[in-house]
Structure 1
Amino acid sequence: MNQNKIQGKKLTSEAIIADHLGRGPDMVLQPPGDGWCLSRWRQFVGSYDLPALPTPLFVVHIGGKPRVRTWMQGGWSEAFSAPSQATIVPGGLPTRWLVDGELDVVTFSPDMSAIQGTPGLEKARRMRFAFSDPLGTALTQQLLAECYEERTPERAIYIDTLLAALKAHVTYGSRQRPAEAIPTADCSAYRVHNVINSIQRNPGADHSLEDLAARAGLTSSHFCRVFKKATGESPHQFVMRVRLERAQQLLVQTDLGLGELSDTLGFASQSHFTRIFRQATGRTPSAYRRNKGSATLQ
């Protein structure tokens, strides 16, 4: 028996997904007589195999861990999907998913008769995993938020307007390229920029390679390659440079003791801080403080 049919009735993509996950969606938005369907799914750690679906799916990763991978070319993808990214799953393609933590996604399946001959259908003929689509993501998130608000005539009009905008967006087809193609190797500039900002905001945090790679949605080895290509430094070198630059500021601008300063900036010990600082500046921290910062990083 065709697994996508029950007693001769063709199942929807949503029914097939629910059957294979063992649970239905948390929320469904489908106006009466409308062939488009928006659904919210929450899933947990595990590996999931989905059969070919009758329609393509526009998927927005809205929450949970940034550690979702898909099976591509004989192995799990190096890139991860992270919250705020989108994926297009073409109809007719079986897929596999690896979820390392809680997953919160929204799927949007189209009315196939409405997208025939459109750019959206053409773009949905191939898998597009973890790409940046700010407009599609924003529309999806706003629609989801409105679905939990109190029912009023104004809310109904607003939801219809948002839904029409999302339909038009999906039908037209996002022109964004996959995240791994923008702009360096397999990581977008936005991902690297976020990692850099997080280090600069709090240089004393435990910026392990594994944590940094997870924030960028990449494996550790792949993250090292794209980070160095973007910054000219390895992640460890960049973290140490930011810590030392902050140490120079604190030595001149504050009266923090060396022990407290080394703890604040994430060094293993005061002696470790002193050794690294002297290698970088040619002076000990105490000498640097006495001379009011006359040395520079080498």
Structure 2
Amino acid sequence: MSLQTRAQVMSKPILHDPLRDSSAASDPRQAEAPAGPRCPAGQEMARVLKTQPLRLAADPSSGAIAYWKHDALHDVVRPMVDHVVMSYPAGSQRLERRTGKVASIGTARSGVVTIIPAGSTSRWDIHQSLHVVQLYLPHATLARVAGEADTAAPGDLLERTGHPDPITSRLLLSAADALEGSAALDALFRQQLTDLLATRLLSAHAGVPATVQATVGGLAPTALRRVIERLRSDSDADVSLGALAAEAGLSRFHFCRAFKESTGLSPHAWLRQHRLEQAMNMLRDTDASVVSIAAALGYSSQTAFAAAFRKLTGETPSDWRRRLR
């Protein structure tokens, strides 16, 4: 996806905005003030970057993912309550970071990550505008994933400045890009990706790298049936990762692996495939309009539904219906 296209995709209205009180903190003179209590990462980023994100999606059970385009930056990032992990969609830009007496220089480019551990503070100098995707990961989420994966309790993440890690970079950019216009699908995908990112951070960017034990075996037949019934429900049933895992009596970490072992698909991929099958049945067997089908399947608009349908089939819903009839 081109940088221009990526920016257009991410320029939809913000889903959740914890940054509305940040404008009062934009005075550059305040940036050099002694660090106070830790603040939410989104709020601190808005103060430092002096803008609002093009896109922000937050989940209370996982964290938040934000896409920014900001101008040159010369400021101190104060201590935050969240770990901040960054990846860069395109381009190449020099990063200069000073933490205490330690100076780090890196390059923001595809395939690298930058990490600001929760509670740390550093001076940043970025001399030109930059596109960046940021994950705001609560330490509680990192600790939960560590516990569910049977690894040692995590300490703080390591500071990284333009550190090569194509796996983490690709995962983070995927989490920012996969927005289909369906609240249930989008939320479930972000929850899965955030847990996967946390697992990756534990293994590659913790002070003591964690070894995650592979899960062997799928879901018990009764548990799988209950989960599938919830995913198939046409009601307002909760299909969040936490609710599905609770239905199976497992942690989120073990549930995702057991579900894929049983079905060959992640929970998000299974639900997306189920929604596609529902759409095809309605398009083929009824005269319902594309708008009403989109609404019935939980898409925010006909445009969002058509884009998701075309991504999976190569055709628009209207073209697919005409071809079948």
TM-score (norm 2): 0.44
